[in-house]
Amino acid sequence: MEIVLTLTFSIVMLFFMIFPAMKITEWIDERYPIPQKWYKPVMLSIVVLLSLAIGLFLRYF
């Protein structure tokens, strides 16, 4: 049940984490140039990681 609640919080946060993920990806691209082919997968993985982090934070704190 705890996993379901955490994933529920995370799915809602996916929409809100798109803008911060874009900014983080731009920052990474400035410091370490990312090939255009890897730009979207990096951004999507950051969106998922941020959403899971916020979901865990909401669940346990």
> Residue 1: is its pLDDT beyond 90?
no
- Residue 17: its pLDDT value, please? 95
> Residue 42: is its pLDDT beyond 90?
yes
Percent of the chain with pLDDT over 90: 72
**What are the φ/ψ torsions at residue 17 (nearest 5 degrees)?**
-95, 0
Tell me what the pLDDT averaged over the chain comes to. 93
> Residue 30: is its pLDDT beyond 90?
yes
Show Cβ contacts of residue 58 under 8 Å, excluding neighbours closer than 6 positions.
Answer: 9, 13
Q: Are 39 and 25 in contact (CB under 8 A)?
A: yes
- Residue 6: its pLDDT value, please? 86
